Structure 1
Amino acid sequence: MSRNKKSASRRRANPPIPRNHHGGAPSNSAADDAAEVQMFLNLASTQDPKILNAAKAEELPPPVWSEDDPEGSLQRAFDVMDQRRKFYEVAATAADERTRSAKQLQERLAERELSIDADREDAAQASSDAEELRTQAAEKIAELREREERVRVLEEDAETGFRSAAQAARLKLDKELAERRAKFDQELDLERSKSVERLEEHEDLITEQLNSMRAEVERARARLADEQTALEKQREEITLDRRTVLGREIAVSRRESAQEAEVEALAAVAVSDAQRETHLTAIRAEAAEQLNADLGRRLTELEKALLKLGTTDPVRLLDELESLRTANSELRNQIAARLNDDDLARLRSVEERNRELSNERERLSLALQQLKGNVLANSINNLKVRQLEDAEHHYEVMSRGYESRIAELQRTIETIYKDRPDPRSPLFPQCVSMDDNAMLNDPGVLLDDGIDLSSFARSLQSTMFRESERAYRVNDIAVFLGGLAMARLHLLEGMSGIGKTSLPKAFATALHTDCAVVEVQAGWRDRTDLFGHHNTFEHRFEESDFLQALYRAGTPRYRDRPFFIVLDEMNLSRPEQYFSVLLSKLENEDGKAIQLVSSSAGRPPAQFENGIGLRLPGNVWFIGTANQDESTLEFADKTYNRAHLMELPSHRPKVPNQNSGSVQPYSSDALYKAFTKARDVHQDAVKKVRQLIHDLSGDLWEQGRVQMSPRVEEQLRKFVPVVVAARQGQHPSEHHDYNDADQDGLALAADHFLAYKVLRAIRGRYDVTPERIEALQDSVLLHWEANGMAGLPTRSTRVFDEERRRREG
């Protein structure tokens, strides 16, 4: 009992490290243990071809020295030494790779041994208890055997004459035997109960550990809930602060608007006063001009009177007037002297009357001038009053207009700012939220090396079927891996429902990474339909699903893993229009970011350059699915030339029962390293496929006007080695083999590349007649056999049959 408690406490102190196939903590299941042990045995038993080649370097014949050609002999010797050096370097690299893989497996085995040791101690304790029970049972059995022996002796004695005594002794012994058997059963039941108690105690300890772990989880959840509550409070406070600042900004804006209205009103009054002064000045000027005209007219009359008098000199005229007055006075005196008193009195009264009338005329004339001046002043005052009334009315009208305009602007501002986000909020809120996501900031555990493409393809097949319940042939998986090495744009064609979208999703699940599906719409025309657009009214960028997936691919969680973006039904619209930016980037990566906005605002996403653009991550593959029906468009040659084309079979295969283990969480660098290694190892395969296409080049041009471009040449160099490496080894029957089961990796790569990258150029060209297609097909079959290709070119044959049916209607 004490040993059980010690072993249990030791297990609690040193718990085994959990693991699983998702890159987090691996499970302790027997299947995972067996898989890791099998990987270790495979690593130990597999002979690396690089090391075998290095071993063959020792078998190279030494160069023969020739006195006639010493320089050639030295050159041959140096060539042999250089060849051996290369072999040894390759062998050393392979040995280092195997050493690193072995170390990783040893670390895992060491972790397993920690948990196995604890299980062994429990097993030893259980074995010890069982051994004690076996010893006791053996002792009891020995005693029973002794009793039986005594009984047999007594029976022999009974046969010789002591039957009655023997019978009594036998009954006594049977009774004693029954008692001992009952006692033994009781002891055995007691030991069993004790064992059950020990097992229950062990289960109680395990339950206690589980409860402790659950309590820890609950406490962690409680802490997380408290932190979330605190974050919510902080968010509410920030929201309140933002609203307060926004209210202050609105109040300041309103005060500025009121001040502007007041300034405009004062300016209007000042303009009205200036206009009134100008008008008064014009009236004064008009009155002065009128007075000047009157004076000029009187002056003209005086000048006319002077002319009538025959002189223009006023002094002379005065002298003459004075002389006339003197003469008149003299004449009056003379008349007065001649007139009588009555006449003289009448004359003097007339003169007096004349003087009074003259004075009255003078007074009336002065009064008239004063009245005219008053009338003019009253006219000016009345004009001023009317102008002031007009200005006051204009001011009232302007005031009412400004007040209504201010009220309207206030309502507009309230409507605008009611649901408008804070101008300091992020322009790309979804991308910024990914920066704060704890899961996306955890890179996890990845393997950067050690992919064997042959076993990798078989493991992918079984893992994809086990994890996603999707069955795919090894040939299709090998072709898909070759496409990943050839291009970052894939086109999956075929009838609906055959698993075009499911293939990349299941592939991503098996690789412990992610696959985002973006549904293409028929109305897409430019890059804004793919990436999204800037909503200036709401002050944020409408982030599309594609942009969010592209940004997620660059987060710490996925930036070192292969990431797949599926453009579902890619040919509903023309990718040459909405996908043109990425087509250019995939062809010639210039290292520049894809600009989405002209200026940044708020908190920028971490991956954006200057807050306005996003680089294309190097770990992303774009996979477009395409249905060929009346609702879709035909891809342009620009898209086909830059993409890897693949058609999936219409029937799913039957995946054989095999235990290939789970696929490890490999990084994208590990995948690229495996592709590079395949190109180094299988260069001869590239030469053979290139030779096949070279032999066909004459007929290809003569019958179909088809020739290979430098881009297609480069794609062949990347595609063929990976397919050959992934297709190596024997594969069990998958039922639906589509007549390519007899093809090896070389024939599979040659057939697929010839069908979808070379022969596909004749599709839709009706100048290639059925007779030319027939001749071209015969040439392909002839050179296929001449170049020693395994099986038949089934994919190329399907292309010829389809084009023949297309032309024959």
Structure 2
Amino acid sequence: MAKKNSNKYGSPQIPVAAPVAAGLQRSALEKNVPVWTASFENASKVYQSFDMKLDIQVDSAWLLSVCERFRAGGDVEFARWIEQFAHVCKELVRLKERLFEEATENWDEARNFALTVEEREQAVTKQQQTLEQAAATLARDKAELASEQQVFASKKSALLDSERSLNLREANAQAGFVEQNELALRQLEDRQRQLAQQHEAQLQQLQEQKRQLESELTQTTRRLAEVKHNCTEAEAERTQQLDRREHEITQSRMELDRARSRLDREWDDIKLAQRDLEQRIAAEMEAERVSHQQAIASLERQRDKAWEKSAGLKEQLVELQELSTELGEQSAAEVLAQLERLRQENRDLKRKLDQSDTAELQHEVEYLRSSKADLERDISTLLPELNELRREQSFKRVAATELEAVAREKRVLEQHKNTLAVHIDDLESRIDQLTNAQKTQTPFPAMSLMDSEHQYRASMELEEVPDLKLFAEELQHRIARAEKHVELFYPLEDIRVLLGGLAMSQLHVFQGISGTGKTSLAKAFAKAMGGFCTDIAVQAGWRDRDDLLGHYNAFERRFYEKDCLQALYQAQTPRWQDTCNIILLDEMNLSRPEQYFAEFLSALEKNNRNERLISLSETALSNAPVMLREGRKILVPENVWFIGTANHDETTNELADKTYDRAHVMTLPKQDHRFTIKKTTPASYSYRSLREAFVRARKEKKAEVVELLQSLTGDAFTEQLASQFALGWGNRFEKQALDFIPVMLASGAPTGEALDHLLSTRVMRSGKVTGRYNIGVDAVRGLKDALETFWIKANLAGEPGKSLELLAADIRRLEGRS
């Protein structure tokens, strides 16, 4: 039963008259070829009648040979397609004849009738409506036809590529077996390409024919418009007939579309057949390959057996050569004769042995065997006794040695006892002397000296800090020339961040690779401000505050003051109490700051600066320095900043959140920013004036910063931090933002730069948002997009470069892990 499905363009397929049978024979081909040729020639005449330069010339013999080749290959679809195309050409000629006949009849009838003005207007209106509908329908059909032609052209191109690929694989598969097939397949491929080109040309001809029919219809419509004023009522009926003719034209066009869809289906069948052929060839090639592999394996096994046999023969040959060498010039017969003589001699000797007196010898052997057994039994009895005696002897020897050692040790101990007694008497006398001397001395000799020395008691005149923006620019040049014999170039952005950090916290962490100038920046800042910098090298074994401050020796009644303790006391002396001073903890993460710096972290959290006290002992000490509270507590003065440098390698520890949250963090890149250094005179700035400048900046910029924090709190960025990362804004963050951002703004930095630095060091750092393993890459991407969106909504200058860089690096890490 024939399939009655629709083609891919939605047009139903209709059977074409006189289909070619599947088993097409040469007689049927010879019968149909003249008909096809005539149809093609008639179609060519139709094109030429419309003044179109297209001549379809078909050689009957060539067409017959092409059909025969396809039939010989088992493919009869090409002949069927040729017949369908010929049928289309025949219908095209008939359609052209009908159109001309109808146009001629309408023209003759239109000239013989006339209408009144009223009837003429009615006919014109009616006919105009009909023509407009026909034009709209024709335009839609034209657009659909163009779309179908484009799709058909693309599918045809794909089919041709598949045919070429299939033919190439077939040729490659059969190249090693039948060389004649290669030439035949190449010829077939060329013929198929020619047929495809002809098919494309014929489709173009059909398209051109359709356009010609549309043009003819337009001309007919125009002619009817010219004579519409002369039509009668009877002509209206003929106009309806013309509409019916137009409908028939539309039906003809639909038949053309159906024929084209039939061609598409046939091309699909060809493509399916080619795919089956490709699979069959692949299966045959696979079977051939397996067969060759089996044959090769069999040959390899035979080769291995032959090599093994050859090796055995070589060994036999070597043995024969060795035997021949040992035998010398003797022949095989002589060797055999010699062997026979030896055998005979052996038999004679055995016979003589049998005839000799062996009974006496055997009796003697039996006697010797019994004697040997008796001796072995005696040995087994005496051997345990010998071992026991040897052990007893070794025990007695060890006991004697121990007695000698104890006696010797006793003599040595008596000598040591006498010596120690003399030393003890000497130490007792010295202790009494030291105790009596310490009763009149101070337990803090270094700090007590600061109470009396003139260099710590004399005050000096200090300069006021100007406007923060001007001060930041001046400080950049002062830092550049602060160190002797070296120039330090730090960008103005880093100087502004440093000033903002000084207003935010007394604890700073300078991060960065080795050689970026972390230590130099701390020292140069202290010198540029006119203060002092105490450099403390943190050791890997530090565990508590005694390693940083020192410890009290109750026996000597003396406190061993370390540099940090002396610097804290020095900053409170009249000479240094109003200067900006630095205590530098070099490589602070060699040990854990949460242990040796714990009391300072707690003290720096207190809002009342006068309550930031560190206890040096459990009880008050006599003769303590003047500025110690209660004789045992030292104040952490506000004019001292702790700056720690941190490298990240296998010898260091990660800083805990407790340290990070309380500190101002700066990451210093490699300095390659050079500028012309302005000459400045040395100066010492007042800490009080710097603090007042910070307070003024906070008052002036507080409203702006509060508005920024409110918009940040209500943004989707904050919601994602809470929902995806379980993070929020605490009181400490808001306090630090109100201290840091105003100073950054007053120093000339944009709001976006200040907020970006705060977010990158307080929120985006590893362990908070980035560097986590319980967060997916989608959450980090969403947070990155939310941050960029907030930046645009808040109209902040620039981009949050530091934060985005951290998020992008974490996204790459998570993508690499997945």
Coarse TM-score class (shorter-chain normalised): 0.3 to 0.5
Q: Scaled by the length of structure 2, what TM-score is found? A: 0.45
Q: Which has the higher contact order (CA 8 A, sep 6+)?
A: 1
